[in-house]
Amino acid sequence: MHMTNCPSEETLAAFIDGRLDIEARQRVVEHVTTCEDCYAIVSFAWDFQAEEPAEAGEGGRGAVARGGGRVVRGRFGGRVWWAGAAAAAAVVTVFLPPIHNRLFSGPSTIVRLVDASEHLEKRPVEGRLSGGFSYKKFDRPKRGGGDQSGDLASADNDIAHLNLSNVGADVESEAKKHPSPQNLAAAATSSLLLRQITQAVDNYTQALIQETGTTAVDVAVGQSKNADLLNDLAVAYSDRALTGNDSTDHVRALNAIERAHQLKTDDLMILWNRALILERAGHRQQAFQEWQRYLELDATSPWATEAREHLSGLQEAMRLDNLNAVKESLKAALSRNELARAASLVIQHAEQLRVDCEEELLADIGTGGYNAQLVAFIARTLAEEERDPLLLDSLNALKSADTAATRAAFNAYRLGCRAHKDGQYKDAIPHFRDARRRMEDIASPFSIRAAWNEARMLLYDGQNPAAISLINQELGRNQDAARLYPLVAGQLYWIRGLASHGLGNPSIALRNYEKSLPLIEGIGEPGSLAGIELVTADAYRAMGETREAWRHHFRAVRLLNASIDLERQHNVLNGVVRAATREGYSFAAALIHDGVLAVAEQGSKPLFVADAWLTRSQFMLSNADFPGAKLCMTHATAAMSLVSDSGARTRLAADIDVAGYRIDEAQGVISIDALTKSLDLLHGIDNRSRLAELYLLRSRAFSVRKQVASARADIDAGLREIDAQRTPMRSDERRTFATVAASLVDEGIRLDLDAGNDESAFDLAERERARVLVEEFSKARNEPLPARLPVKEIAANLPERTAVIAQSLNANQLITWVIQHSGLRTYRAPISAAKLTNDAQELITLVATDSALAAIRRRADALRAVVLPDGINADRLIIAPDAELYGIPWTVLYNAKARKYVIQQYEITIVPSLAFCWDHAGPQDRGLRAALIVDASQSREDHILPSARAEADVVASVFPQPHLLRNGRGTREQFRRSIVAADVFHYAGHAVANVMRPERSRLLMGADDSEGVTAEEIAKLPLSGLSLVVLAACRTSSGNTNSDVLLTLSTAFISAGVPTVIATWADADDASTAELFASFYGLLRSGVPAAAALRQSQLRLLESRQFSAPGYWAPFIVMGYSRA
Q: Give 1018-1066 pLDDT, tens digit per residue.
A: 988 888 888 999 999 988 887 655 444 456 888 889 888 888 999 998 8
Alpha-carbon distances of 1020 from 152, 296, 921, rounded to whole Å: 40, 47, 16
| Band of pLDDT at residue 311, cut at 50, 70 and 90 | confident
pLDDT at position 274 is: 92
Tell whether the model's pLDDT for residue 860 goes beyond 90. yes
Closest CA to 379 of 354, 416, 347, 348: 354
| Band of pLDDT at residue 864, cut at 50, 70 and 90 | very high
Instruction: Calculate mean pLDDT across residues 179-186.
Output: 89
High-pLDDT (> 70) share of the chain, %: 72
> What secondary structure letter does DSSP report for 963?
E
d(CA 638, CA 657): 14
Instruction: Calculate mean pLDDT across residues 977-998.
Output: 82
| Band of pLDDT at residue 315, cut at 50, 70 and 90 | very low
Closest CA to 450 of 442, 438, 468, 463: 438
Higher pLDDT, 445 or 1094: 1094
Closest CA to 807 of 785, 775, 839, 831: 831
The distance between the two most distant Cα atoms of the chain, rounded to a whole number of Å, is 104
pLDDT at position 170 is: 83
pLDDT at position 838 is: 81
Tell whether the model's pLDDT for residue 886 goes beyond 70. yes
| Main-chain dihedrals φ then ψ at residue 826, nearest 5 degrees | -120, 135
Tell whether the model's pLDDT for residue 32 goes beyond 80. no
| Main-chain dihedrals φ then ψ at residue 992, nearest 5 degrees | -120, 110
pLDDT at position 713 is: 92
Decide if 461 contacts 424 (C-beta within 8 A): no
d(CA 487, CA 522): 8
Decide if 276 contacts 864 (C-beta within 8 A): no
- Helix (H) or strand (E) holding 857, with range, is helix 853-867
Which span out of 753-767, 894-908, 917-931 was modeled with the highest average pLDDT?
Answer: 894-908
- Alpha carbons within 13 A on the beta-carbon side of 1057: 16
Instruction: Calculate mean pLDDT across residues 541-561.
Output: 67
Helix axes 853-867, 833-848, angle to 10 degrees: 150
| Band of pLDDT at residue 334, cut at 50, 70 and 90 | confident
Looking at 948-1043, which runs of residues are DSSP E strands? 961-965, 984-988, 991-992, 1002-1003, 1013-1014, 1028-1032
| Main-chain dihedrals φ then ψ at residue 685, nearest 5 degrees | -120, 140
Higher pLDDT, 77 or 859: 859
pLDDT at position 78 is: 36
Task: Give the dihedral sign, CA 988/989/995/1001.
Answer: negative
Q: Which of 489-498, 584-593, 597-606, 916-925 has the lowest mean pLDDT?
A: 584-593
Tell whether the model's pLDDT for residue 730 goes beyond 50. no
Task: Give the dihedral sign, CA 832/242/201/895.
Answer: positive
User: DSSP of 242-296, one letter per residue?
Assistant: HTTS-THHHHHHHHHHHHHHHHSTT-HHHHHHHHHHHHHTT-HHHHHHHHHHHHH
- Helix (H) or strand (E) holding 236, with range, is helix 227-242
Distance from the Cα of residue 307 to its chain's centroid: 19
Tell whether the model's pLDDT for residue 583 goes beyond 60. no
Alpha-carbon distances of 54 from 75, 158, 165, 526, 1105, rounded to whole Å: 8, 10, 20, 67, 13
Alpha-carbon distances of 597 from 79, 554, 573, 608, rounded to whole Å: 83, 11, 11, 8
d(CA 641, CA 656): 12
Closest CA to 282 of 315, 321, 322: 315
Q: Which of 629-633, 853-857, 874-878, 968-972 has the lowest mean pLDDT?
A: 968-972
pLDDT at position 71 is: 23
d(CA 1111, CA 471): 52
pLDDT at position 140 is: 46
CA dihedral in degrees (881, 887, 889, 895; nearest 10)? Answer: -70
Instruction: Calculate mean pLDDT across residues 639-656.
Output: 78
pLDDT at position 268 is: 92
Decide if 313 contacts 142 (C-beta within 8 A): no
pLDDT at position 576 is: 64
Give me the count of residues in the chain: 1124
Tell whether the model's pLDDT for residue 493 goes beyond 80. yes
d(CA 672, CA 681): 14
| Band of pLDDT at residue 77, cut at 50, 70 and 90 | very low
- Helix (H) or strand (E) holding 492, with range, is helix 486-502
| Band of pLDDT at residue 392, cut at 50, 70 and 90 | confident
Which span out of 139-148, 360-369, 841-850 was modeled with the highest average pLDDT?
Answer: 841-850
d(CA 339, CA 355): 21
Closest CA to 747 of 681, 795, 655, 810: 810
Instruction: Calculate mean pLDDT across residues 527-545.
Output: 68
Q: 1046-1066 b/e with 16+ CB inside 10 Å = b?
A: bbbbbbbbbbbbbbbbbbbbb
Decide if 143 contacts 946 (C-beta within 8 A): no
Question: If DSSP codes are grouped into helix, strand and coil, which group holds residue 414?
Answer: helix
Question: If DSSP codes are grouped into helix, strand and coil, which group holds residue 63?
Answer: strand
Mean pLDDT of the residues in the chain: 76
Other beta carbons within 10 angstroms of residue 15's beta carbon come to 22
Instruction: Calculate mean pLDDT across residues 963-968.
Output: 78
Higher pLDDT, 1037 or 187: 187
Q: What angle is formed at CA 487 by the lines to CA 485 and CA 489, rounded to 5 degrees? A: 70
d(CA 1037, CA 1034): 9
Q: Which of 378-392, 942-956, 965-979 has the lowest mean pLDDT?
A: 965-979
Instruction: Calculate mean pLDDT across residues 96-109.
Output: 37
Tell whether the model's pLDDT for residue 1118 goes beyond 90. yes
CA end-to-end span of the chain: 75
Which span out of 578-582, 963-967, 1005-1009 was modeled with the highest average pLDDT?
Answer: 963-967
d(CA 891, CA 800): 21
- Helix (H) or strand (E) holding 228, with range, is helix 227-242
High-pLDDT (> 90) share of the chain, %: 19
pLDDT at position 193 is: 87
Burial class of residue 127, CB neighbours in 10 A (0-12, 13-18, 19+): buried
> What secondary structure letter does DSSP report for 1065?
S
| Main-chain dihedrals φ then ψ at residue 1030, nearest 5 degrees | -120, 120
Q: Which domains does the chain have, with CATH numbers?
A: 1-101 (no CATH), 105-316 (1.25.40.10), 324-365+373-421+424-519 (1.25.40.10), 916-1119 (3.40.50.1460)
| Main-chain dihedrals φ then ψ at residue 221, nearest 5 degrees | -60, -45
Q: Which of 174-178, 451-455, 570-574, 614-618 has the lowest mean pLDDT?
A: 570-574
Q: Which of 548-562, 664-678, 829-843 has the lowest mean pLDDT?
A: 548-562
pLDDT at position 249 is: 83
d(CA 1093, CA 1110): 18
Instruction: Calculate mean pLDDT across residues 786-790.
Output: 74
Tell whether the model's pLDDT for residue 600 goes beyond 90. no
| Band of pLDDT at residue 784, cut at 50, 70 and 90 | low
pLDDT at position 514 is: 79
> Alpha helices, DSSP H only, in 194-226?
197-212, 217-223
Which span out of 131-140, 493-502, 685-694 was modeled with the highest average pLDDT?
Answer: 493-502
Instruction: Calculate mean pLDDT across residues 1070-1097.
Output: 93
Closest CA to 63 of 1104, 1034, 955, 1100: 1104
| Band of pLDDT at residue 538, cut at 50, 70 and 90 | low
d(CA 951, CA 964): 12
Alpha-carbon distances of 854 from 58, 638, 1088, rounded to whole Å: 11, 68, 33
| Band of pLDDT at residue 145, cut at 50, 70 and 90 | very low
pLDDT digits (tens, 9 = 90+) for 402-444: 778 888 888 899 899 888 776 677 888 999 999 999 988 888 8
d(CA 1012, CA 1001): 9
pLDDT at position 432 is: 92
pLDDT at position 907 is: 94
Helix then strand then coil, in percent of the chain rounded to 5, is 60, 5, 30
Q: Which of 125-129, 327-331, 520-524, 1076-1080 has the lowest mean pLDDT?
A: 520-524
Burial class of residue 66, CB neighbours in 10 A (0-12, 13-18, 19+): buried
Tell whether the model's pLDDT for residue 229 goes beyond 90. yes
Which span out of 157-161, 751-755, 913-917, 1007-1011 was modeled with the highest average pLDDT?
Answer: 751-755
d(CA 186, CA 924): 55
| Band of pLDDT at residue 802, cut at 50, 70 and 90 | very high
Decide if 42 contacts 104 (C-beta within 8 A): no
- Helix (H) or strand (E) holding 188, with range, is helix 181-193
Other beta carbons within 10 angstroms of residue 992's beta carbon come to 24
Instruction: Calculate mean pLDDT across residues 988-994.
Output: 82
